[in-house]
Structure 1
Amino acid sequence: MIQDELYDVGLGQRRTMFGPQGAEGQVEHTSDLNDKLQDFVTRYCFGDIWQRDGLSYAERSRITFAMLIAQGKAHELRVHARGALENGVTPLELREVVVHSILYCGIPAAVEGLRAVEEILAEQGIPQQLDGESDRAQRVAPGTE
C-alpha cells in the first residue's frame, strides 16, 4: 500500500476509534487477499469521508451504528459500538439509536443492535443503568397509575 497523507490520516482515525488493534493490527495483517479492502477502508473511509466537515465524529458514529443495525451487520455493530464510545457517543445515545431502530428496521434488527451495545458496555465495564427508565417502569405497572 502507498502511504500518503490520506492514508496516514485514515490510520490515525482508525487508531483513535478502535485502538492499535483496529489500526496497525488490521494493516499489519494485510495480504494479497485483503490489501485492496484495507487500503480502501483506511484511505477513503477513515482518511476522507470521516474527515469531512458537516458532521462530528459522534454524529457519524451514531449514523453508522444505525445503518449497521438496518443491515443486520452483527460483527460491525460491535466494532462501531466501541468506536462510537471513543468518539463521545454515550451509552444512552446508543440505546436510543437502538430504540429508534425498532420503528424503521424492526424488532430483530434492534435486538441485534442491543446485544452489541450490551456486550461492549460489559466488555468496557460501563454500567448498563443509564437513566433510571427501567426502575420507573417497574414502579408503575400498566393500569395502576
Structure 2
Amino acid sequence: MNDRLAKGKAKFDEVYGEGKSEGLVGMQTGLAQDLARYGIEFNFGDIYARPGLTLAQRELITLAALVALGGLEPQLRGHTRGAINVGCTATEILETVIHTVQYAGFPRALNAIRVVTDALIEYGVEIPEPLGE
C-alpha cells in the first residue's frame, strides 16, 4: 500500500470509524474499486490530512459545498455522520445548512436540511428547537 493510500485510509477511518475505508472500497465491484481508492488517496490522504483546519471544520465546509452543489444526498448523509463523529454539534451542522441558503437558494437548502435532519435523527442526535417564532 502506498503512503497516500495508507494516510488516506487512516484519515477516512478517523472521520467515519475503524475499517470504514475498506468498506468503501469493498462495496465497489472490479475496476470501480480503483475509483474508491483514488478518492481515499486524494480526498483523505492529500486534502483532509493537510494542516490548517480541524476535521470538524473540514466536515462543515464539505457539508456546505454538498448543499450548494445539490443532488448529492448520499454524500450529504455520509458527511453528516462524519461531522458528528469528529465532534460537530447538531446546531453547527444545521446552521451550516441554513447559512448556505443565501448562496445555494431555498430549494437546495430545504432539500439538504431534510436529509441532514433525517440523518441526525437516525444517528440518535437530538434536534435543537427552532430559534424563530
- Fold shared by both chains (TM-score > 0.5): yes
Could you say which structure has the larger radius of gyration?
A: 1
| Structure 2 residue corresponding to 1:52, chosen from 29, 44, 50 | 50
Question: Is the 8 Å Cα contact of residues 91 and 128 (structure 2) preserved in structure 1?
Answer: no
Letter in 2 for 1:58: A
RMSD: 1.7
CA distance in 1, matches of 2:19, 2:106: 32
1:86 aligns with 2:85: yes
CA distance in 1, matches of 2:76, 2:22: 20
Superposed, 1:1-145 pairs within 5 Å as 3-20=1-18, 22-72=20-70, 73-129=72-128, 133-134=131-132, 137=133
TM-score normalised by the chain length of structure 2: 0.89
Query: How much identity, in percent, do the aligned residues show?
Result: 33
Moved more, 88-97 or 16-25: 16-25
Inter-CA distance 98–29: structure 2 relative to 1 (3 Å threshold): closer
CA distance in 2, matches of 1:20, 1:116: 24
Question: Is the 8 Å Cα contact of residues 97 and 109 (structure 2) preserved in structure 1?
Answer: yes
Aligned length in residues? 132
Letter in 2 for 1:28: G
Moved more, 62-71 or 27-36: 27-36
Gaps of 5+ in 2: none
Q: What does the per-residue CA deviation read over 1:73-101, in whole Å, with 9 as the maximum and x for residues that have no partner? A: 11111011111111221111111111111
Question: Is the 8 Å Cα contact of residues 61 and 83 (structure 1) preserved in structure 2?
Answer: yes
Gaps of 5+ in 1: 138-145
TM-score normalised by the chain length of structure 1: 0.82
